[in-house]
């Protein structure tokens, strides 16, 4: 009997992986922000937009509502992140995917929007450091504004 019960539980768990709508109902909304930036004037990339489109397609099949942004400038990236954050404040699960140029200055990571002009390190505008998100065990929201999600700056 124990063996049959184990099989039933395993079957239930496996079937839930292939039924994103039931998972979505159980876990609340599932939102993804997917950004692919390829069209840089200083160093164009071949794959990020294609990678972002492929990732968005897979996430949709998994029950995510996907916000797909391609070749976006600073303003568009900030708006997308703000919209994503506002949706997450209502609860649910969020996934952020970025493909494109990035850089690190003094231990801080930055995503590079299309149209950025970076000639030297001092072209990167500095902010206060990103706060660490609260622990999962606190039950608090893990999102506290655009700065906590990522850094996108004009150069």
Percent residues over pLDDT 70 in the chain: 63
User: How does 131-145 read in b/e, with b if 16+ C-beta sit within 10 Å?
Assistant: eeeeeeeeeeeebee
The verdict on residue 123 lying in a domain is yes
What is the pLDDT averaged over residues 2-9? 45
**Residue 71's domain is classified under what CATH number?**
3.40.50.1460
The verdict on residue 101 lying in a domain is yes
Read off the pLDDT of residues 116-131 as tens digits, 9 standing for 90 and up.
888 888 777 654 333 3
pLDDT of amino acid 21: 52
Query: How does the average pLDDT of the chain come out, rounded?
Result: 74
Q: What residue numbers bound the domain in which 104 lies?
A: 27-149
pLDDT of amino acid 110: 85
pLDDT tops 50 at residue 64: yes
pLDDT tops 50 at residue 140: no
The verdict on residue 126 lying in a domain is yes
pLDDT of amino acid 138: 42
The verdict on residue 125 lying in a domain is yes
What is the pLDDT averaged over residues 37-45? 93
Two structure tokens written together for 34: 């997917």
pLDDT of amino acid 103: 86
pLDDT tops 60 at residue 136: no
Better pLDDT: 143 or 102: 102
The verdict on residue 102 lying in a domain is yes
The verdict on residue 16 lying in a domain is no
Read off the pLDDT of residues 80-110 as tens digits, 9 standing for 90 and up.
999 999 999 988 999 999 999 988 888 888 8
Number of domains in the chain: 1
Q: Which residues have CB under 8 Å from 150's CB, separation 6+? A: 81, 96, 98, 109, 111
């Amino acid at each position: 009997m124990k063996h049959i019960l184990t099989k039933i539980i395993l079957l239930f768990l496996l079937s839930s992986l292939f039924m994103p709508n039931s998972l979505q109902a159980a876990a609340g909304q599932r939102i993804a922000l997917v950004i692919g930036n390829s069209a840089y004037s200083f160093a164009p990339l071949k794959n990020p937009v294609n990678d972002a489109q492929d990732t968005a397609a897979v996430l949709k099949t998994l029950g995510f509502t996907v916000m797909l942004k391609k070749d976006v400038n600073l303003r568009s990236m900030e708006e997308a992140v703000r919209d994503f954050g506002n949706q997450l404040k209502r609860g649910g699960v969020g996934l952020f995917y970025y493909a494109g140029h990035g850089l690190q200055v003094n231990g801080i990571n930055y995503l590079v929007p299309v149209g950025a002009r970076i000639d030297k390190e001092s072209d990167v505008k500095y902010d206060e450091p990103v706060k660490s998100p609260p622990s999962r065990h606190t039950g608090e929201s893990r999102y506290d504004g655009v700065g906590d999600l990522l850094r996108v700056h004009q150069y």
